[in-house]
Chain A
Amino acid sequence: KNEVEQSPQNLTAQEGEFITINCSYSVGISALHWLQQHPGGGIVSLFMLSSGKKKHGRLIATINIQEKHSSLHITASHPRDSAVYICAVQGAQKLVFGQGTRLTINP
């Protein structure tokens, strides 16, 4: 079993829909990161969480430390949100990445 599991692996939605991507992990962590990667592009850090909830524009990230679970939400989704979203957990020595969720938003 992977240390970090994301779901769903692929998600297609219509513009305007509310999007949720989930991340579960099985190891102790000091922080959890949500990252965005566009096709052929670099990686952008969206959020770093160690507890609670953070909001940036239309993006919201939450984490439940007891349940070892985090969610990334996108409100009023737009085609430019189409990308791979990656959850990464930070332990003592390294980041461990989930496999990513490929999100496609159709106009």
Chain B
Amino acid sequence: SQTIHQWPATLVQPVGSPLSLECTVEGTSNPNLYWYRQAAGRGLQLLFYSVGIGQISSEVPQNLSASRPQDRQFILSSKKLLLSDSGFYLCAWSLQGRGEKLFFGSGTQLSVL
């Protein structure tokens, strides 16, 4: 069966520090991968998606970047965090061609202070 792992669960970082959130998927090959963010009082917003290794599409301009160094690994990064980067970050995957059903990770609560 397929599983998705996302870590850490919570993170408190000072403004200006770097960020690295990691997500891995097991039990499937060549998935579509996504990073979503939920800011306080707002809906889930798609940040990045990837249909293959090294292929990253950004949905909104921001202080963050994503990378996919391996087929089932998706990393969300920042060189210098801003206060506005605080939020709940969710990694998700879907089967190629079956993107209507997303499988979400457990999320990372990021607080930038």
**Co-complex (A, B):** no
